[in-house]
Amino acid sequence: MVQITGAKGAGLTIYRSRSRIPIEYRLLDADKKELAAGKMKYG
């Protein structure tokens, strides 16, 4: 699990055209093979 936290526990939300947009991620190994991918969910 990845948790993004700012100063004093602030979170992160990305908006475009007044809507939240998903943050995509990819986890690669040392050989750059993809181990996992997806979109983070806002909680």
**What is the Cβ-side half-sphere exposure of residue 8, based on CA atoms within 13 angstroms?**
0
Q: What is the pLDDT of residue 34?
A: 95
The pLDDT of residue 13? 79
Residue 1 lies in a domain: no
Q: What is the pTM (predicted TM-score) of this model? A: 0.50
Are 20 and 26 in contact, with CB atoms under 8 Å apart?
A: no
The answer to whether residue 20 sits within a structural domain is yes
What is the count of structural domains for the chain? 1
Distance CA 16, CA 4 (A): 19
The pLDDT of residue 7: 76
With respect to residue 2, please indicate whether it lies within any of the assigned structural domains.
Answer: no
pLDDT in tens, 1-43: 666 667 776 777 788 898 888 888 888 999 999 999 988 777 6
Classify residue 12: in a domain, yes or no.
yes
Residue-level pLDDT at 1? 60
The pairing of beta strand 34-40 with beta strand 19-20: unpaired
